[in-house]
Structure 1
Amino acid sequence: MENKKKKIKVLIIGIIFIVLIGGIVFYLTSHLTKTTICKGNLDMITTEKVEVISSDEKVKETKTQVTYDYSDYISDTYPISYYKDYIKNSNNFYKGVNGVKASLKVKGNKVIYTVDIQYDNEYMKDLVDAGLVRTNGSYKDIEYISLKDTLKNQKNAGLTCKEK
């Protein structure tokens, strides 16, 4: 009889231990950083790839790469530098915004425009002022950028999203 009680105690302790470990693993994995890749063709020359880095369903950073393929449009009159300058001059939107890094490069007949946005609280005022984050009040009202809403916006723009 005493042997049976010991076995039941060990079994109960084992079950409690398994549930406890399972809870810890679930908690830790739900708080890990995850990356979702959204990509697609926007038109005949433009493709876009957005890397959305998040944690706890909150977007921490987006890395966007827009590639313009001018292979069918390059000529002596309109060399690749013409298109690069055009994109550079039309994309001053991010210039001087804290929390945003933008760059432009040419690779063959393609112009690649990249934008990296950090959604840290220290940059929120600048992001709101630049129109990159919407709010109903002040920037202080923003607790986080919703992963769900961000991915919905990417899908509405015609991109397909998959978790990496």
Structure 2
Amino acid sequence: MKFPFKRNLICFLEKKLGYKDYNILNVTEGNALISELLISHKPIAIGKLGAVENAALQNFQTHRDKKVIWSTSLSSSLYGNAGVFPQSEEIFNTFCVEFLDSLKNFDLLAVWFNRGEASIIKNYASEAKITELCALEPYYHQDPWSQYLENKKVLVIHPFT
């Protein structure tokens, strides 16, 4: 029997406990900050931890001091969903090292309260501001951050691009 409230309960607890030391910007504040960052004419990094990437980083962190074990399910998700290839343990380990190292460069991270996400942000992206996920989606806002993209060079890193 599935419990539909289980995911909501986990998210609630992760938000309340995992992020208790953070000021999480609401979607309007997050949108405004993205706009400010774009107007600043400085290089910026904005993003989120995907669910698969987050699971991979959790797995990597758990087994870091010994051989990392990549389950068939997580390996398939990293390859098929997150676009990490070729499909090998060495590549997955390298991906995790590089991903964790890159987090220190983020100005803003959107969170969706996946298990372990707060710990990764605390340890690897402590300087980043935190916002709710929908702040990344400009179509939710009357004054969207996307209007400031004109004449900007934008690098999009996404497994589906």
Range into which the TM-score falls when normalised by the shorter chain: under 0.3
Q: Which structure has the higher relative contact order (CA within 8 Å, separation 6+)? A: 2
Larger strand fraction of residues: 1
TM-score norm. by structure 1 comes to 0.24
TM-score norm. by structure 2 comes to 0.24
